Structure 1
Amino acid sequence: KDELLAEALNFNALKALQAAHPGATPEVRLRLFIRDFMRLLLDEKSASRQCRIMARELADPTPVLDQIVKQGIAPLHDFLGGLVGEIVGEQVSDAVRLRCVFSILGQCLFYYHAEPVLQRLHPELRYDAAEIEAIATHIADFSLTALLAKKSG
């Protein structure tokens, strides 16, 4: 159990997500963030299991959830909120920006939490590299369309 806790509290992979691609436009950074987050979340070959541990904690909380939120989820949430803010601009309210962040994270986490149901509905579905890339592209396209619509009013 201590080993699992230590692994859950090692957020290097999530910190790397936040530091990646600093010179790119906000739209490109969002695409790359979603792609990399989905790889961490869905790719069974991923060296890092923190995203999957965090996703399980959200679905079935244990006492360690407070630490996970403080050290892993809150910084990721703040990073994504800043990125969304860069895309939609200051004319969009904080409440709307927050719902946009929730929507992006919700789309990402859906594929993790719904996998058992999706496998029963679509037995051919596999989270291989190509499918993870396609899912990430879909989430990014969908989200950017909505964000840019919010920006233009």
Structure 2
Amino acid sequence: MARETPTDESISNVDATRQRLLEAAEEIFAEKGFEAATTREICERAGVRNIGAINYHFQGKERLYAEAVRFAMSTCVCGAPFPEWPAGTSSRQKLRDFVRVMMARILEVPRPSAMHLMNREMTRIAPSEVTANAVRENIKPMADLLTQILAGLLPDLPFEKRVLIGFSVIGQCLYYRQNRVVGEVLFGRDVTRNYNAEFLAEHIADFTLAAVGKLADD
């Protein structure tokens, strides 16, 4: 009997099932972690009756987890693009633009589960291979860009010091995403409601440039 050629519709259905499983896995893994999550509840969340669908699409729970982490991290770092700076753009302006894009990406993640799963992985005591691969693919390009900007801004500073400053920049960005509730409880929503991406980016850039003695050069 001749094998049937897959139709565009059948391929589309397969892709849709895989995507639903991936999105459901991101949510369940973000809520419970790898060990506590079950393939059955992932299928139920995805509306997929056949529990064997995970093996078919992902060759098992471990591969599904790796793909879910990769999916979550790629979601968190996409969004607003970094500008293509014309020649002669100052390193100070590039840093301001970098922070502005980072804050837009961090505060406007389309799926909360993506940020939750990314945070779960990033706060491990030791990185798993899953995390390491996702970081290399999704986060390293941004780290390289920030490293280049800081090299232009602080060319005489040792590389190790510039790395620490880079961590401080990103740490400030993440703080305002991860501690919204803390800020509201401490100071009230009347204070924090204006903490949008543009407002926070300007503050973080000013604070960083002042800390490294470059604010007055603006």
Q: Please give the range of the TM-score, normalised by the shorter of the 2 chains.
A: 0.7 to 0.9
Question: Greater relative contact order: 1 or 2 (C-alpha under 8 angstroms, separation 6 or more)?
Answer: 1
Distance across 1 between alignment mates of 2:167 and 2:107: 19
Contact 1:84-1:101 within 8 A present in 2 as well: yes
Distance 2:172 2:178 in 1: 10
Report the Cα distance in structure 1 between the residues aligned to 2:95 and 2:196, rounded to whole angstroms. Answer: 19
- Unaligned stretches of 5+ residues in structure 1: none
Q: Does residue 1:108 correspond to 2:173, yes or no?
A: yes
Give the 4+ runs in structure 1 shifted more than 6 A: 48-51
Task: Give the one of 112, 117, 122 matched to 2:187.
Answer: 122
Identity of aligned residues (%): 26
Distance 1:48 1:2, change over 3 A: closer
Q: Number of paired residues?
A: 142
2:121 maps to what in 1? Answer: 57
Structure with the greater alpha carbon radius of gyration: 2
User: What is the DSSP-based 3-state SS (H/G/I as helix, E as strand, rest coil) of the residue aligned with 1:16?
Assistant: coil
1:2 aligns with one of 6, 13, 22:
22
TM-score normalised over the length of structure 1: 0.75
Deviation of 1:118 after TM superposition, in Å, equals 1.2
* Letter matched to residue 57 of structure 1: E
1:96-123 CA-to-partner distances (Å, cap 9, x unmatched) read 1111101101111111122221121123
Structure 2: unaligned runs, 5 residues or longer: 1-20, 27-67
1:76 maps to 142
TM superposition score normalised by structure 2: 0.55
Equivalences for residues 3-152 of structure 1 within 5 A: 3=23, 4=26, 5=68, 7-10=71-74, 13=78, 16-17=81-82, 20-23=83-86, 24-43=89-108, 46-47=109-110, 52=115, 54-59=118-123, 64-89=130-155, 91-124=156-189, 125-126=192-193, 131-148=196-213
Task: Using the TM superposition, give the Cα deviation of residue 54 of structure 1 relative to its aligned residue in structure 2, in angstroms.
Answer: 3.5
How far 1:48 sits from its partner (Å)? Answer: 7.5
After superposing the two structures, state which structure 1 stretch, 31-40 or 61-70, moved more.
Answer: 61-70
Measured against aligned partners, the alpha-carbon deviations of 1:54-85 in whole angstroms (never above 9, x if no partner) come to 34532368854222211112221111111111
> Aligned partners of 1:102, 1:50: CA distance in 2, in Å?
24
Q: What is the RMSD of the two structures over their aligned residues, measured on CA atoms?
A: 3.0
